[in-house]
Structure 1
Amino acid sequence: MAACTSGSPGAQVKPGGRSFTVAAAGDVLIHPELVEQAAKDAEKTGEGQAGLDFGPLMAGVKPVISKADLAICHMETPVGTPKGPFEGYPEFLVPPQILTTLKDVGYDTCSTASNHTYDHGLKAVKRTLDAMDKVGLGHTGSARTPQEAEQINIRDVNGVKVAHLSFSWESFLNPTPGKERWAFNRMSTDEIKKAEARARKKGAEVVILSVHWGLEHYNEPSLPQLELAERITKETGIDLVIGHHSHVVQPIQKLNGKWVAYSLGNQVARHSSPTGLTEEGAIGWFEFRETADGWDVDARYRTTLVDIPPEVEAGDKAPESAVEEHRVVDVQQVLDSPGDLSEDRLARYRLAADRTRGFLHNRGAPRGDGLEQLSLGK
């Protein structure tokens, strides 16, 4: 199996070698409150489809996502029809309009293997992938047919053939029937190895793996996560591992010379009981440079926060400085240009920046491995 070496010690960039950047983010989880926000925004903008416009919700991350040569999202749930009905937790069915917005923001392709992939059966799996095809979003991790399940998502990125794989643990709530087990990729080191081998056979020079794993609401990776990360980085040639599912930020670590982002938190979500941590996320930014031996990879990140308006009793008014709309915020951009934001609002953004930095660095990435915040000026 041909494998590329990422981040090898002392790696020398190849003269005239190729390079590209990858942006990856956490879960896209459209809760009912976000659908209500999209309806409010559609009334104001007159845009969107069937009375829903997710553009204002996601606009804050467009300057980062659109800057990458390859931008990868995680589409956690199946989509319904544009006019609904829609459902939230525990069996999600979300507006397909979010896919148009993801494409407009700059995402190129998405992982679709998760514990919610099969919430509404194979019909919804097909509808979701059809809708992604329609807006021009790539996808990997789920399939409409057994034949499609064997295909590999390979994209040409600055002249480099980059494969994207996606695997998840099985849902205990809605397990896939045996006859349709091919509908999405279940977590297995052996199956990951087979998928990588197929990707390399088809000419992939870089392989990126998205994994849906771990425990929800824990900022440290679980023992099974750590064990699987060790196997993947030691036993395969996969160049980058992107994790999600915990809904909170977990560390980014260089393991056996490969970067592993255990969880990038939520890109966009509005849990029924927000914890503060579930609103915080990170965009991972990875710079690939060709060397004589393979690929050297640098890791950066950008902190995000989902602004959530306060819940107020009927007849009461929210404080004048309070958040008014659900919005995904690029935290550093706001801190760099705060305008007339109140000190309370700025304190919340500083907390998100400091806390996210701490969680991302919690397995030693700053010590010699070079994990830094992404500057858009670079």
Structure 2
Amino acid sequence: MEQFDVVILGAGAAGLFCAGSALGQGRRVLVLDHAATPAEKIRISGGGRCNFTNMATGPDRFLSQNRRFCASALSRYSPADFVTLVDRAGIAWHEKTLGQLFCDGKATQITDMLLDRMKGAELRLRTTVESVQHDSDRFVLATSGGAIRANRVVVATGGKSIPKIGATGFAYDLARQFGLRVTDTRPALVPLTFAEQDLALCKPLAGVSLEVRIDHKEGSFRDALLFTHRGLSGPAILQISSFWQGGESLQIDLCPQADVAAALKRRKQESGKIAVATALTHLLPERLAQAIAAEAGLSKARLADQPNKVLDALGARLNRWTLRPVGTEGYRTAEVTLGGIDTRDLDARTLQARQVPGLHFIGECVDVTGWLGGYNFQWAWASADAAGRAA
């Protein structure tokens, strides 16, 4: 039977990074994955350029039943630490907005860097893990390639998001097998879906994008919104999806830079002969301005002919658009899974199961979910480094 110091389940961002950190401790390391290629989420992330971290990372940018749990790992492996690694690899990068860092080139540069960092460890793809048993002080894994014994097992198999690239609930099943609790899970950073009355506006505007502010009882986010044939998407919607609960309404300010009613009243005094739709184009993308004017029955109406109560109604429609999503697009398009391995059952410094010495859970499968913008990758690096150094 083969023997390794550390066996890591999952060759995604967290798994590959953990291998490099464990290798640095002088351990004999094996990484297993059922997929044919490693790190598919890295490849498709950030529009193919990988939003690999966020310089504003802190515990307040994560959702969890215990929002302070991630603080230990994040403080010991920071965004600056990962940037140093990227710089050493000669990978060019840029800051986009809000602290988000992207590769100038392809996302696969990050994967290549991680594979290079773990040289000396063994990577086996197309290998299925059939069972994991704890035999006295060691683990025995039955795999499609034969039995393996390990001193430590690190579970980095991710959550349920994007099943077409191989995502499963394996980590949750294994956690329950060993007596760990698992919090409720659901898709996060995912487009929301809407009823037909809302789609009547959205569908004709597919492709229109603008900066909005979305208010929710958990907070307010200002970012881009994208109209689609299926409803609404874009960073603002993905961000709020992690907080939204079924049955709740959202309030969207389609023109956060201005009080629309006040702006229209000023324009009415200055140049009242222009059309309402034309006035709105100074505040909104043209197609959206025309759609809003048509919705109000004002497509050909002059601004001067509109009483203030009509302009107030238009302002409320744009600054306080209230709508109720009917659901999400689900794990099929979700970037991450919200919830997961209960942090009460893990040591914050090592990500080790409190009641099962040598068993660690890292990355997305843990109940630590970052905001949109590189935070989830930083959690992958930090939790992986914590477990790898403890291995």
TM-score (norm 2): 0.25
Q: TM-score, normalised by structure 1?
A: 0.25
Q: Look at both structures and tell me which one has the larger radius of gyration over its CA atoms.
A: 2
**Which structure has more RCO (C-alpha within 8 Å, separation ≥ 6)?**
2
Structure with the bigger percentage of helix: 2
